[in-house]
Each structure stands twice: as structure tokens, then as C-alpha cells.
Amino acid sequence: MPKTKIMKMRLGKQCVICEKRKEEGILIAKSFICNTCEHEMVHLDEQDQLYNEYVKQMRTFSSQYV
């Protein structure tokens, strides 16, 4: 019996915030942000601990285009 080859496909784009592959989200300056991260960022209070993490991640990818 002949061997079969298995081909793995990666669907979606990799989010610059959570680094997970998702199919739905937004593109900002060629960088993809998934719907989950976008929703969390929009609803975060600036006093929240995660706020600074999101700001740091946004600076990382935005510095590539400045």
C-alpha cells in the first residue's frame, strides 16, 4: 500500500496581540488583530492590569511602520 502524505493547512491569520490563528478580525497597517483581542481592548479600563500589556503589544507592531 502506498504511503500517503498529510498536508497541514493553517487557516486564518496570526493575531499580533494573542499570537493565535483566527479567521476573523481587523487589519491595521498590515497587522492582524483578532475579534477577541479587539473586543477586549475596546472594553478595557485604563486602570486594568491588562491595559499596559495591550499597549506594549500595540507599540511593538506599530513601531514597524513608523
pLDDT along the chain (66 residues), means of 10: 64 89 90 92 90 84 63
**pTM attached to this predicted model:** 0.70
The whole-number pLDDT of residue 26 equals: 93
Coil/strand/helix, residue 52: helix
The whole-number pLDDT of residue 13 equals: 93
The whole-number pLDDT of residue 21 equals: 94
